Amino acid sequence: MNYGEIINKLKKQGCSALEIINNFICTGLLCRTTVNGRSMNPTIQDGERLLYNPFVGKINRGDICIVNVNEKLLIKRVIAIGGDHLTISIYGSVAINGEWQDEPYINPQETDGQSIDIIIPNGELWIMGDNRGHSTDSRSFGTVEVCDVLGVVIIQKRGGNDG
């Protein structure tokens, strides 16, 4: 049974959207976490709650993921996937396979003048925070394995105490 079938079954039983989400969380079909830090500003703020899908299928460029790096959970954006040729200029501009990327989601960045030119190995990802001047990411620790991705973020909610 897929998510759509489950949702339709719960709707037929009279469940509200909140009850459906709570059912997914209680059964482990969705997971939630709270953001601690500013590495994904302005996209995701410190204290926001996220729902993520722990059943990771294909991971795409641009996905925001929960990743286990050295026993620490990080929330980062996938910039490049296995097989991609990644170039980062000394000014912080990103090119994938020779095409410069428009990244409207990033904070104006501070750069350290470090350029990067790498081909991402198959089964690995290059991840970065949107707040490039304040993010520990692949620029520090290199690529991460796809198997280290715990989930892909599907919903974010700002503040509040409603669970």
Given the residues 9, 12, 16, 39, the one annotated as active site: 39
Q: Which CATH architecture does the domain made up of 35-157 adopt?
A: Ribbon (2.10)
Query: Is-catalytic flag, 39?
Result: yes
Given the residues 9, 76, 115, 135, the one annotated as active site: 76
Domain boundaries, the chain: 35-157
- Report pLDDT digits (tens) over 56-86: 788 999 999 999 999 899 999 999 999 999 9
Give me the pLDDT at residue 159, please: 57
For residue 140, what are its two tokens?
């520090």
Answer left, alpha or beta for residue 54, where phi above 0 means left and psi between -120 and 50 means alpha: alpha
Query: Is-catalytic flag, 58?
Result: no
Give me the pLDDT at residue 148, please: 94
- Distances 118 to 61, 87, 90, 104, 163 between C-alpha atoms, Å: 16, 7, 14, 23, 42
> Nearest-CA neighbor of 70 among 136, 162, 3, 155?
136
pLDDT beyond 90 at 109: no
More confident residue, 87 or 19: 87
- Report pLDDT digits (tens) over 129-149: 999 888 999 999 999 999 999
Model-level pTM? 0.80
